[in-house]
Amino acid sequence: MSSRINHRKLVFFLLLAQLSRAFVTINVVRPSPTCRPTSDVTRRSRTSTNDRLYVIPLSKFSDSMSFLSKEVGDEYRCCIDSNGRFWNNDDDRYYELGIVEEQDLPQLCKFVVATFGADAISLSTNMNNLERMLLNPAAEFLNGYSNLVAFAEVYSGTRQRILDRIQHNNNILPPSLDGLSPQEKITKAERDSLILILSRPNADASNQELDIIATIELRLQPCDAKIPFSIPWLDRVERRMGTMIGLGADRGASDLQPYLSNLCVSDKYRGQKIGRALVRCVENITRTCWKYNRIYLHVDEDNIAALKLYQSEGYRDVGHRWNPFWSGRAADIGYFVKTLT
């Protein structure tokens, strides 16, 4: 009986782990005291298109990094101007690059799930009209349930990853790891991600939601090539399991370095270099504020567009993979690094 229970627990963990990993997008020194806002930031009072924009504009930190400096030039920023704004050609209202806050999380997670998709079932194109009429209600029900589970998982994981940052006045400082043990450093880094979004208030004044078109995340991550889960504590569990079979023991498991993840751009706005601009932005924060000279990411090498983007920006394959027997096709996911100069 006990062996059967243990087996069920293992199966449950592996299913939960794979679901969590599916919603981590695989594409992404002492801190300087100048990496704080150039002025006091009062929540919900923003220099932006509308007071309903809750995010902290990245322009508040313009003295901390060169990305928004006019000397850097528009060519480097691609489609973002020196105020951290992206202008939509369809109207005169701009999107603003900012740091996500707790109030924004439900809207951010809805955007992530909607953009990546969480449909469990798609009906075959070979079905006739009668078959579609009979099966479509069941498929819609299951897909609705799948989206609900996906949203709950993404929301829970995202909130855990930014917990320390939102509790200690959002800024662009790296996690403070001084005096901590290696495991304590990992645990601390798990709760201190920096998430940027490109957004603006919804044009409908009665709609209090943000209009989000892109997001990207920067965090510290061990350099053992492990593909991170959305929910941080699952990473700790999998690392322990990996240690038991000899994975990660001699490949950077204790070396925390900046890690780019969850780069996501709305379908409608792809092809306008928004993704490239966000990659360069977090690289700039990594180098000028966090004071690191390397940044890592994972990318599905079947995603040709993402792969070409990263390679053109100077990312190179590290040469090893996280590939435990339970991780499915993890070995097919590229692990890349860029040296920042």
Smallest CA-to-CA distance from 318 within 229, 221, 224 is with 224
Q: Where are the alpha helices (DSSP H) in the chain?
A: 2-22, 74-77, 105-116, 129-161, 163-167, 182-190, 232-244, 274-288, 304-312
CA atoms of 220 and 329, how far apart (whole Å): 24
For position 4, what pLDDT does the model report?
A: 37
Q: Name the amino acid, one letter, at 202.
A: N
CA atoms of 17 and 226, how far apart (whole Å): 13
Residues 275 and 303 sit within 8 Å (Cβ to Cβ): no
SS3 34: helix
Alpha carbon of 79 to those of 123, 149, 185, 292, 312: distances in Å? Answer: 39, 35, 36, 25, 17
| Joined tokens for residue 238 | 């999998």
Q: How many CB atoms lie within 10 A of CB 207?
A: 11
For position 7, what pLDDT does the model report?
A: 42
Alpha carbon of 164 to those of 45, 102, 158, 167, 171: distances in Å? Answer: 22, 11, 12, 5, 11
| Joined tokens for residue 45 | 């009072």
CA atoms of 241 and 12, how far apart (whole Å): 15
For position 42, what pLDDT does the model report?
A: 40
CA 67 to chain centre: 19
**Spans of the chain, pLDDT less than 50:** 1-16, 18-19, 22-23, 28-34, 38-53, 118-125, 127, 131-132, 135, 139, 141-145
CA atoms of 293 and 202, how far apart (whole Å): 38
Residues 195 and 162 sit within 8 Å (Cβ to Cβ): yes
Structure-derived torsion over alpha carbons of residues 230, 233, 238, 244, reported in degrees to the nearest 10: 170
Residues 55 and 46 sit within 8 Å (Cβ to Cβ): yes
pLDDT digits (tens, 9 = 90+) for 127-184: 455 544 554 555 454 444 456 667 888 888 999 999 999 887 778 999 999 999 988 9
Question: CA angle at residue 217 from 50 to 187, to 5 degrees?
Answer: 120
- φ/ψ region of 195 (left if φ > 0, alpha if ψ in -120 to 50, else beta) reads beta
Q: Which residue has the tokens 């993704």?
A: 275
Q: What is the pTM assigned to this prediction?
A: 0.80
N-term to C-term CA, the chain: 59
CA atoms of 248 and 212, how far apart (whole Å): 37
SS3 201: strand
Q: How many CB atoms lie within 10 A of CB 145?
A: 12
| Joined tokens for residue 296 | 């890592």
Handedness of CA 261, 267, 268, 271 (dihedral sign): positive
CA atoms of 94 and 85, how far apart (whole Å): 6
Q: Name the amino acid, one letter, at 271.
A: G
Q: Which residue has the tokens 């996906």?
A: 150
CA atoms of 232 and 201, how far apart (whole Å): 30
